[in-house]
């Protein structure tokens, strides 16, 4: 079974980092390591990670610092540079991995030696009707998250790259100094440039926050423009479907409903990040 390193870039993530780590280490197959890459956080992120490590000495969680440059891409790159596993999983600091995530990822790369990148769908843990939300996200990603005649694009909150593949593209990926691109799609297109295979698995599931919808339309539109900006930077690649069209259609309803549901969760004193995989975690802990 291939070893999976989980790399988590973090900047001021004190609200979710402990839950993220708890989900990353409570797995049916233990990750080889979990690397938090702090990028100049000025809140309690590092303190909370250090406390988690002290309380979970056998969990192989590591805290490293990337202080040379502010930004997700240099922070991600630094995390990959220190990771020691056969596969590098990359998630965000507010992501809650399903408890079989490492097992699923290991199986993907074990069963298909030609697979160099893998991704899957997301369930939105801070929204209701999670089962329907997962089905919808799965359909959108299977249909629209594609390039060059149905080749898979990786999703940054839920992706894994074989270490040997990263070695081939690490000096080629875009630095994106203006910060106008989607770094996950950029990685995907560089993998495709090298003729490296990317795959999609419905079983590779993570929980993510829908907080992106709780922004002004101008901010949301700027974020959506990153799709086209990334493809503009890679003119030799094409796409048949614009993912952002689907997201634009969903935005009004989710923008209106998201804050209402957060008030409901607060009223019920529910932490959705802790609750999302509680049943599966209980089964693992009592196995």
- Helices 243-267, 130-144: inter-axial angle, 10-degree rounding: 160
Sheet strands (E) in 84-129: 87-90, 96-97, 115-119, 122-124
- How much is the pLDDT for 269? 96
**What is the CB-side half-sphere exposure of residue 186 using CA atoms within 13 A?**
22
- How much is the pLDDT for 45? 98
Confidence of residue 154 (pLDDT cuts 50, 70, 90): very high
- How much is the pLDDT for 166? 98
- How much is the pLDDT for 208? 97
Tell me if 175 sits within 8 A of 69, measured CB to CB. Answer: no
Q: Is the per-residue pLDDT at 285 higher than 90?
A: no
pLDDT tens readout for residues 266-275: 999 999 999 9
pLDDT top residue among 65 and 213: 65
Over residues 14-38, the mean pLDDT reads 97
Confidence of residue 32 (pLDDT cuts 50, 70, 90): very high
Nearest to 52 by CA among 19, 95, 83: 19
Nearest to 4 by CA among 204, 248, 266, 168: 204
- pTM, to two decimals: 0.96
pLDDT tens readout for residues 178-195: 999 999 999 999 999 999
- Both tokens of 125, joined, read 């843990």
- How much is the pLDDT for 83? 98
> Which sign, positive or negative, has the C-alpha torsion 228, 230, 233, 235?
negative
pLDDT tens readout for residues 116-153: 999 999 999 999 999 999 999 999 999 999 999 999 99
Q: Is the per-residue pLDDT at 286 higher than 90?
A: no
- How much is the pLDDT for 215? 92
Q: Is the per-residue pLDDT at 213 higher than 90?
A: no
240 phi and psi angles, rounded to 5 deg: -90, -20
Tell me if 8 sits within 8 A of 61, measured CB to CB. Answer: no
**Domain 4-285 coded CATH 3.90.550.10:** yes
Average pLDDT, the chain: 96
Q: Is the per-residue pLDDT at 287 higher than 80?
A: no
Q: Where on the phi/psi map is residue 91: left (φ > 0), alpha (ψ -120 to 50), or beta?
A: beta
pLDDT tens readout for residues 245-262: 999 999 999 999 999 999
Percent of the chain with pLDDT over 70: 100
């Amino acid at each position: 079974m291939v070893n999976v390193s989980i790399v988590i870039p973090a900047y001021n993530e004190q609200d979710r980092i402990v839950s993220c780590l708890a989900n990353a280490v409570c797995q049916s197959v233990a990750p080889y390591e979990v690397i938090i890459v702090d990028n100049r956080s000025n809140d309690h992120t590092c303190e909370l990670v250090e406390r988690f490590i002290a309380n979970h000495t056998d969990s192989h969680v590591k805290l490293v610092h990337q202080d040379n440059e502010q930004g997700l891409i240099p922070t991600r790159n630094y995390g990959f540079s220190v990771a020691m596993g056969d596969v590098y999983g990359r998630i965000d600091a507010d992501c809650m991995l399903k408890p079989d995530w490492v097992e699923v990822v290991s199986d993907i790369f074990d069963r298909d030696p030609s697979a160099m990148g893998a991704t899957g769908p997301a369930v939105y843990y801070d929204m209701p009707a999670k089962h329907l939300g997962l089905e919808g996200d799965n359909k959108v990603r299977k249909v629209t998250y594609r390039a060059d005649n149905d080749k898979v694009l990786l999703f940054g909150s839920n992706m894994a790259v074989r270490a040997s593949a990263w070695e081939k593209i690490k000096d080629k990926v875009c630095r994106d100094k203006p910060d106008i691109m989607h770094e996950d799609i950029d990685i995907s297109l560089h993998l495709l440039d090298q003729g490296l295979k990317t795959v999609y698995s419905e079983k590779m599931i993570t929980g993510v926050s829908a907080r992106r919808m709780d922004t002004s339309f101008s901010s949301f539109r700027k974020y959506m423009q990153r799709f086209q900006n990334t493809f503009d930077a890679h003119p030799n690649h094409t796409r048949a479907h614009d993912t952002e069209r689907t997201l634009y259609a969903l935005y009004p309803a989710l923008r209106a409903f998201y804050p209402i549901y957060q008030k409901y969760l607060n009223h019920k004193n529910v932490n959705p990040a802790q609750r999302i995989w509680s049943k599966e975690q209980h089964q693992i802990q009592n196995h």
